[in-house]
């Protein structure tokens, strides 16, 4: 059974069709990233899967349960990191994590979780005194404390500095290696590329492309660009057979500053949402 199965999901707000017929399958243990421009319908879709928002139409199954009818036991199997930061201003980091741990039957060790998200030095600070990125880390800590089977991460690294993002990626890889299914929305294509087994691009409430980060939008088969320095400047050719091209070009000797590139995930993404 898939962790998530969605068919024909629709949701409108006062006549505006925010989600316009989405089908989605996420296997157990998979890391799945949903990409898409602002207003594409990502948060709306994820909130429906979390049971936080009702839907107009469609079939939805999350860990075998319709989220609209999710029990407390079902909810305890989910780890949720919402887009808006936690409002735990008066509790210290440790108090907040300990407090959330009590909701679960088999929580992780609070201090271990604080360490995992890199907040050990701030464990005694109150939520209200944390920086934006630190508060986000606290959100992540609260999302993983209950040892979830399935995690929803809505733009989890917004506001993180580059080092914190890399630390967060390591944490997600660790959770994935433990078998946690992860559904993540992100605007960072490098994040999707680093973490996701598969990605879907949502635009105007519809999935316009789906695949692995390596193959999305025909990326793996796109022409390669071969570039090298020749005399006065760079020469560039586009070819479907870069190996052959380089073999021919290099007959007369070394090609200076040679590179072979294919479209980046960002190139493909920007083309898909046009």
Q: DSSP letter for 268, please.
A: H
Query: Which residue in the set 41, 118, 133, 217 belongs to the binding site for ligand ATP (CB under 6 A)?
Result: 41
End-to-end CA distance of the chain: give it in Å, rounded. 35
**Nearest by Cα to 78 from 149, 141, 170:** 149
Please report the beta strands in 14-167, taking only residues with DSSP state E, as ranges in sequence order. Answer: 16-26, 31-35, 57-62, 78-81, 150-154
The verdict on 186 binding ligand ATP (CB under 6 A) reads no
Query: Residue 268's closest CA among 227, 236, 204, 221?
Result: 221
**Which among 68, 53, 50 is positioned nearest to 4, based on CA atoms?**
50
Q: With H, G, I as helix, E, B as strand and everything else as coil, classify residue 222.
A: coil
Q: How many residues make contact with ligand ATP (CB under 6 A)?
A: 11
Nearer of residues 44 and 134 to ligand ATP, judged by Cβ: 44
In the shown chain, the binding pattern of residues 2 to 21 toward ligand ATP, with x for contact by CB under 6 A and - for none, equals: -----------x--x-x---
* By CB under 6 A, residue 128 contacts ligand ATP: no
Q: Which CB sits closer to ligand ATP, 132 or 218?
A: 132
Residue whose CB is less far from ligand ATP, 20 or 194: 20
Task: Return the SS3 of 4.
Answer: strand
Residue 43 or 134: the one with the smaller Cβ distance to ligand ATP is 43
152 or 228: whose CB is closer to ligand ATP? Answer: 152
Our finding on whether 38 is near ligand ATP (CB under 6 A) is yes
Footprint of ligand ATP (CB under 6 A): 13, 16, 18, 36, 38-44
């Amino acid at each position: 059974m898939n962790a998530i199965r969605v068919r024909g999901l629709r949701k409108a707000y006062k006549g505006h069709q925010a989600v316009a017929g989405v089908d989605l399958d996420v296997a157990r243990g998979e890391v799945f990233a949903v990409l898409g421009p602002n207003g594409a319908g990502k948060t709306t879709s994820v909130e429906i899967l979390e049971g936080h928002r009702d839907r107009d139409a469609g079939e939805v199954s999350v860990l075998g349960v319709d989220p609209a009818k999710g029990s407390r036991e079902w909810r305890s199997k989910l780890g949720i990191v919402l887009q808006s930061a936690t409002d735990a201003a008066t509790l210290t980091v440790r108090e907040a994590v300990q407090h959330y741990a009590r909701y679960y039957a088999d929580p992780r060790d609070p201090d271990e979780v604080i360490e995992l998200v890199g907040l050990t030095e701030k464990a005694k600070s109150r939520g209200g005194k944390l920086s934006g990125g630190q508060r986000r880390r606290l959100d992540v800590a609260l999302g993983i404390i209950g040892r979830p089977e399935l995690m929803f991460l809505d733009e989890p690294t917004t506001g993180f500095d580059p080092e914190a993002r890399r630390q967060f990626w390591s944490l997600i890889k660790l959770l994935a290696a433990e078998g946690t299914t992860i559904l993540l929305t992100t605007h960072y294509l490098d994040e999707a590329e680093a973490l996701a087994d598969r990605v879907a691009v949502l635009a105007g409430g519809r999935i316009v492309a789906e695949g692995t980060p390596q193959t999305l939008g025909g990326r793996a088969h796109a022409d390669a660009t071969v570039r090298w320095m020749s005399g006065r400047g760079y020469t560039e050719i586009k070819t479907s057979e870069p190996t052959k091209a380089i073999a021919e070009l290099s007959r007369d000797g070394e090609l200076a500053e040679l590179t072979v590139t294919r479209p980046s995930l960002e190139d493909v993404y920007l083309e898909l949402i046009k």
